[in-house]
Amino acid sequence: MEKYRSQKRLIRVAAAVIVNDEGQVLITRRPEGSHLGGLWEFPGGKIKDSETPQMALQREIKEELDVEVDVRQLLWREQFEYPEKRIDIFFYGCRLKSAAQQIKALEVDAFRWINPDQLDAFQFPPADEHFIARLKKGAFDLINGSGF
């Protein structure tokens, strides 16, 4: 089994846990027709070879939502295996650089600000499950930014 696993391509991914002043997190819905289309996620994307996870987040958030973020502390890192690939996902606490920025759904189907206790109402990719469980249990102080 280990030999089989090592043959799957590994993709590095960065996810932004963008928090507003009310402690809500921003989630986005993946476009239909994409991998895991229709599922909700924390915005972000693939990390290019020449990028750090923080650089990838700044680029991806600008491309997907047309806003700029301050990337803060790494909150969680997870490796997850899908049937066709493995991912190494980094979840970073983030804040919008300015609350006056207007979020636009450029490369996502939709976006919403939700309270962490509302996460169960949305379907997320399996790779997010462990992080979401910790987030719902209050492992991170979203209001004060403790941990990021």
Contact assessment for residue 60 and residue 114, using Cβ atoms and an 8 Å cutoff: no
Task: List residues forming the annotated binding site.
Answer: 30, 35, 41-44, 64
Distance (Å, rounded) from C-alpha 22 to C-alpha 108? 23
Q: How many residues would you count in the chain?
A: 148
Q: What secondary structure letter does DSSP report for 8?
A: S
Task: List residues forming the annotated binding site for 8-oxo-dGTP.
Answer: 30, 35, 41-44
Distance (Å, rounded) from C-alpha 52 to C-alpha 57? 9
Residue appearing with tokens 């609350």: 99
Distance (Å, rounded) from C-alpha 136 to C-alpha 116? 6
Task: List residues forming the annotated binding site for Mg(2+).
Answer: 44, 64
Q: What secondary structure letter does DSSP report for 144?
A: T
Distance (Å, rounded) from C-alpha 34 to C-alpha 88? 19
Distance (Å, rounded) from C-alpha 145 to C-alpha 122? 24
